[in-house]
């Protein structure tokens, strides 16, 4: 077939076919100009206002020298300006680099240098950290100040509010192709340095479609966004999908349980995403039962598996809420599999089946498919997959070998294609020659009536190589001992799976996305076995 046209015709066809992230907001604004789009503090804006503000901000970025392909870092808690920046940069084809606000100056400096950032937008409360990072990274360019505390910008910084409040409302005339990078997401990972995951409009929009259809999302949703938007789960499974559909978004700076509960009641919220740790904090809050949560209809969890006992409690205390489990990786933009509401009880603990635009299977170390019921590495093939890792040919080749994205997670698949995530490859505990999935031990401990949270991991041991170790947080008002937890697991787990060490603690360390930081726990408790003799055998192994 002859598809050779003049450059002018080719450009006109490309313009007519453009479907980038920036176009999503514009088209929603055409469909629902007067609909409430975003609530952030006292600010309430319609979709027409949102689109116009994003256009003004895009023109401001252009005036400051940013062009298609440039990288702009964003260091901030959730706020209105965060939402604006996502779509203003997308309209220009400027690559947004969301930065984890929990990072220190040296870690931020590494990201700025690795991404070759042309500028940074910073929340005023994070400016001291950003200043140290910039001094180390030695980058020049755009410096925008997001005011959330009322503080005035320092010298050398500009107030971002001035960029979106005035200027041209027209859309920038920039062609952003399907696979032009629009986002550079740095993974937290387990390695010493994070990798920059390149996502395009094609990756993200394919993922939005999977979320919307398999996740039961609609234009009528009213959703709270409280988890950090620097993480693609909140930003791309939920907030950006709401913009695509025309739903209403309530932006909160953090997942404070009291504020979340009050916001659900006040704004008649219908939809909420939280990792299991945040759902647990809501259930344990003293105002949970006295707060009117009757508007809530859809609940989502992810980031880590939902303990089966917590799932049952949620269904008992919020019977009107349908639940979905989202599983995936940043490199999948990020959704890969979904467990739907009607499957929650029958397949509790499962990550579900491959999402609409995803193909998932399990392979061995040589890339060969493994039989049903056997453990293998979870791999995916999908238009949602990332473009690769920025400036890292070696890691890209390793992760995308054989034409599949290799997640690094281990799982088991049923005949019907339902996936159970066993563990991260790096989190599998190898004790006495046997493999122990930390999640299986966690599920057994969660069955104890007085346990609120638990994390299980392996520590170095002179005899067993690794010893199963648990850190337990009791429910408020409850008291548990290490021996009680060990006794509890004896009737539920094989001897080699039972924890050799149990520590009772007030809290578990977590990142802003709600994931438990097992690396910190390993560092903190890694010496528990240091004085044990080589012949110790204290768990019946």
pLDDT in the model for residue 314: 95
- Contact indicator for 411, 375 with CB cutoff of 8 Å: yes
Residues 267 and 400 in one domain: yes
Residues 410 and 444 in one domain: no
Q: Which residues in 274-295 are b (16+ Cβ under 10 Å) and which e?
A: bbbbbbbbbbebeebeeeebee
pLDDT in the model for residue 103: 84
What pTM did the predictor assign? 0.83
> Mind listing the pLDDT tens digit for each residue in 7-53?
999 999 999 999 999 999 999 999 999 999 999 999 999 999 999 99
Find all residues with CB under 8 Å of 141, minimum gap 6, and list them: 65, 117, 118, 119, 120
Q: Tally the domains of the chain.
A: 3
Residues 370, 414: Cα–Cα separation, whole Å = 11
Residue with tokens 């493994």: 370
Measure CA 310 to chain center.
20
Runs of H (alpha helix) within 343-458: 393-399, 438-446
- Contact indicator for 419, 338 with CB cutoff of 8 Å: no
Q: What is the CATH number of the domain that holds 489?
A: 3.30.300.30
pLDDT in the model for residue 537: 40
Residues 57, 486: Cα–Cα separation, whole Å = 58
Mean pLDDT score across all residues of the chain:
92
Q: Are strands 222-225 and 405-413 parallel, antiparallel or unpaired?
A: unpaired
User: 97: domain range?
Assistant: 47-176
pLDDT in the model for residue 481: 95
Residue 4 lies in a domain: no
- The residue out of 425, 457, 486 marking a domain boundary is 425
Residues 482, 503: Cα–Cα separation, whole Å = 6
Residue 541 lies in a domain: no
Residues 501 and 459 in one domain: yes
pLDDT in the model for residue 93: 98
- The residue out of 382, 410, 425 marking a domain boundary is 425
C-alpha to C-alpha distances, 474 to 211, 217, 422, 450, 471, nearest whole angstrom = 35, 35, 25, 6, 10
Residues 399 and 496 in one domain: no
Stretches where the chain sits below pLDDT 70 are 188-192, 304-305, 424-426, 433-434, 513, 531-541
Find all residues with CB under 8 Å of 286, minimum gap 6, and list them: none
Residues 94, 423: Cα–Cα separation, whole Å = 36
Q: What is the CATH number of the domain that holds 284?
A: 3.40.50.12780
Query: H/E element holding 194?
Result: none
User: What are the two backbone dihedrals, phi and then psi, of residue 120, each rounded to the nearest 5 degrees?
Assistant: -150, 140
Residue 470 lies in a domain: yes
Residues 343 and 433 in one domain: no
Residues 253 and 371 in one domain: yes
Residues 61 and 141 in one domain: yes
pLDDT in the model for residue 532: 55
User: What are the two backbone dihedrals, phi and then psi, of residue 384, each rounded to the nearest 5 degrees?
Assistant: -75, -20
> Mind listing the pLDDT tens digit for each residue in 502-524?
999 999 998 776 778 888 898 89
- Contact indicator for 505, 512 with CB cutoff of 8 Å: no
Q: Find the Cα–Cα–Cα–Cα dihedral 225, 228, 232, 235, rounded to 10°.
A: 30
C-alpha to C-alpha distances, 180 to 14, 358, 421, nearest whole angstrom = 13, 21, 32
């Amino acid at each position: 077939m002859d598809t050779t046209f003049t450059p002018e015709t080719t450009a006109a066809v490309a313009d007519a076919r453009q479907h980038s992230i920036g176009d999503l907001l514009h088209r929603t604004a055409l469909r629902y100009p007067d609909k409430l789009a975003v609530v952030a503090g006292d600010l309430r804006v319609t979709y027409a206002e949102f689109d116009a503000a994003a256009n003004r901000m895009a023109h401001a970025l252009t005036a400051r020298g940013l062009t298609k392909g440039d990288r702009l870092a964003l260091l901030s808690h959730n706020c209105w300006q965060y939402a604006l920046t996502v779509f203003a940069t997308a309209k220009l084809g400027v690559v947004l680099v969301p930065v984890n606000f929990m990072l220190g100056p040296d870690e931020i400096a590494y990201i700025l240098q690795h991404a070759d950032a042309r500028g940074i937008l910073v929340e005023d409360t994070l400016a001291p950290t950003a200043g140290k990072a910039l001094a180390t990274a030695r980058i020049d360019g755009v410096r925008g100040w997001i005011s959330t505390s009322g503080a005035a910008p320092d010298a050398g910084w500009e107030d971002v509010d001035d960029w979106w409040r005035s200027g041209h409302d027209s859309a920038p005339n920039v062609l952003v192709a399907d696979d032009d990078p629009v986002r550079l997401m740095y993974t937290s990972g387990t390695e010493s340095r994070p990798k920059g995951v390149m996502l395009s409009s094609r990756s993200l929009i394919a993922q939005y479609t999977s979320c919307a259809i398999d996740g039961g999302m609609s234009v009528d949703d009213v959703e709270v966004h409280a988890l950090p938007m620097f993480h693609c789960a909140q930003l791309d499974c939920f907030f950006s999908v709401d913009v695509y559909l025309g739903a209403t978004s309530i932006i909160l700076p953090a997942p404070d349980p009291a504020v979340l509960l009050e916001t659900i009641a006040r704004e008649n919220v219908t939809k909420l995403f939280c990792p299991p740790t945040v759902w647990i904090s809501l259930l344990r809050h003293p105002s949970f039962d006295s707060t009117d949560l009757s508007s809530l209809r859809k609940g989502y969890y992810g980031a880590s598996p939902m303990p089966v006992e917590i799932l049952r409690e949620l269904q008992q205390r919020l019977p009107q809420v349908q639940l979905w489990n989202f599983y995936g990786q940043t490199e999948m933009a990020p959704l890969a599999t979904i467990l739907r509401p009607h499957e929650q009880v029958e397949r509790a603990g499962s990550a579900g089946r491959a999402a609409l635009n995803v193909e998932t299977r399990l392979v061995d170390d040589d890339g060969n498919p493994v039989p049903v019921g056997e453990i293998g590495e979870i791999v995916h093939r999908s238009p949602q997959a990332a473009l690769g890792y920025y400036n890292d040919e070696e890691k890209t080749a390793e992760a995308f070998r054989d034409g599949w994205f290799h997640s690094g997670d281990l799982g088991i698949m049923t005949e019907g294609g339902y996936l159970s995530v066993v563990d991260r490859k790096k989190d599998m505990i190898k004790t006495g020659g046997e493999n122990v999935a930390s999640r299986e031990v966690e599920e057994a401990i969660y069955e104890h009536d007085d346990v609120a949270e638990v994390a299980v991991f392996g520590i170095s041991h002179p005899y067993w190589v690794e010893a199963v170790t648990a850190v337990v947080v009791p429910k408020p008002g409850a008291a548990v001992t290490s021996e009680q937890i060990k006794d509890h697991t004896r009737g539920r787990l094989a001897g080699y799976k039972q924890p050799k060490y149990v520590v009772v603690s007030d809290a578990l360390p977590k990142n802003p996305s709600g994931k438990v930081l097992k690396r910190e726990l390993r560092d903190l408790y890694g010496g528990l076995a240091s004085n044990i003799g080589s012949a110790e055998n204290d768990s019946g192994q």
